[in-house]
Amino acid sequence: MSQSRTLRPVAIVGANRIPFCRAGTGYADLTNLDMLVSALQGLVDRYNLHGRQMDELVAGAVMTFPKDFNLAREALLSTGLSPLTPGITLQQACGTSLQAAFGIASKIACGQIECGIAAGTDSASDVPVLFSRRFSQRLVALSKAKTTRQKLTALKGFRPSELAPVAPAITEPRTELSMGEHCELMAKQWQISREAQDELALASHHRAESAYSNCFFDDLLSPCAGMLRDNNLRHALTLAQLEKLKPSFDRSAKGTLTAGNSTPLTDGAATLLLASEEWAAANNLPVLARLTHMETAAVDHVGGEGLLMAPTVAVARMLQRAELSLQDFTHYEIHEAFAAQVLCTLRAWESEEYCRDRLGLGRALGSIDRNKLNMTGSSLAVGHPFAATGARIAGTLARQLELAGQGRGLISICTAGGMGVAAILER
């Protein structure tokens, strides 16, 4: 029996994304494949990977067409990467590209591979529009028909109403509620005020605006289709402007989630380059940060738990394994799907009852220093192309740690389906 290997450190050595755009604007004519190719090529150009055979590329999208089944492989074949690079396509809703990084990191840690690229792309502008199931079945039958009689049989009983398209909808299949409707329920359960949500959204925009002013994103962004920066960012945004917006999901006087404190439908793509430290040194690439811990969790949202509360479970479990407290971090990156989700998460970690009864802990995880939260802005400001968000956040955090010279960062991302992913980066 061979001797087991010691797990190796996993380095984040690069990141690149294209600017994120509100649906129907800058990338209205682009596909998931177009955007992923652009983000990948930007990574190739930035880190001189032309002709390089990577051990694997793992990428995915949430809003996909059947033709996108081989998305990762098709994307890399349109870039300067070696065509000998394997492409793997996966999907875990908003956690897709971070989950892709987890798989690559695990293989690097155990010595199976030396390097890999995790990526995600999503277009809310180019979504599949389906016909009714009955009409789809007719088309399949027609394609198989060989005689006129068989073709007429396939069309028998046809009604024009079958041609009505099925409108795309972002709802949970089990509850038939949208993510926003679920988060509104969470906000009511945890008594999160509209004012607190608007203040968090305002901070996100102001911090992202400051980061742009300080050229923070220069080494993380490559242009695409004439876009040079995220177009969701609102400059000189004020609380008064946010307060004027009407509730988007619960339209009664009790509704608190608005277009201002919720992420917009967004188009974009992001990439993350991971490697062993040996590979990084051999290729003269810096170690921005190390991915040291990873966790995935789920909650029973069908049974009544908050749809977007799974990160509370993932983070608690990860902290136990890492033997760290919630306060042992210099940076916190909590995905801002909705301002309310971030605030519910923070309040849950502060709750003795929740931490005891749901997380099985002896005491509350406690509070964090809000000045260390999403310091360069997050999804509320820059946007949220579902599958791209994990790679964006990990790349952003790695860059922050590099600039700081040292530190430890926590990543927390909620996803559709009642799941959550979490990670720790260190330098």
Please pick, among 21, 224, 355, 414, the residue that the annotation labels catalytic. Answer: 414
> Rounded to the nearest 5°, which phi and psi values hold at 26?
-60, -35
Strand partners, 12: 274, 289
Please identify which of the residues 21, 94, 115, 344 carries the catalytic annotation.
94
Cα(139)–Cα(19) distance, rounded to whole angstroms?
39
Token digits of residue 168: 């795309």
Range 225-246 burial, b when 16+ CB lie within 10 A, else e:
bebeebbbbbeebeeeebeebe
Nearest-angstrom CA–CA distance, 57 and 105: 12
Determine whether 384 is an active site residue.
Answer: yes
Instruction: Compute the CA torsion angle 321, 333, 245, 383 (nearest 10 deg).
Output: -120
Strands 408-415, 331-334: pairing kind: parallel
How far apart CA 288 and CA 272 sit, in angstroms, is 11
In angstroms, the CA 338 to CA 100 distance is 23
User: Could you say which of 205, 293, 335, 384 is catalytic?
Assistant: 384
94 counts as catalytic: yes
> Which residues does the annotation mark as catalytic?
94, 384, 414
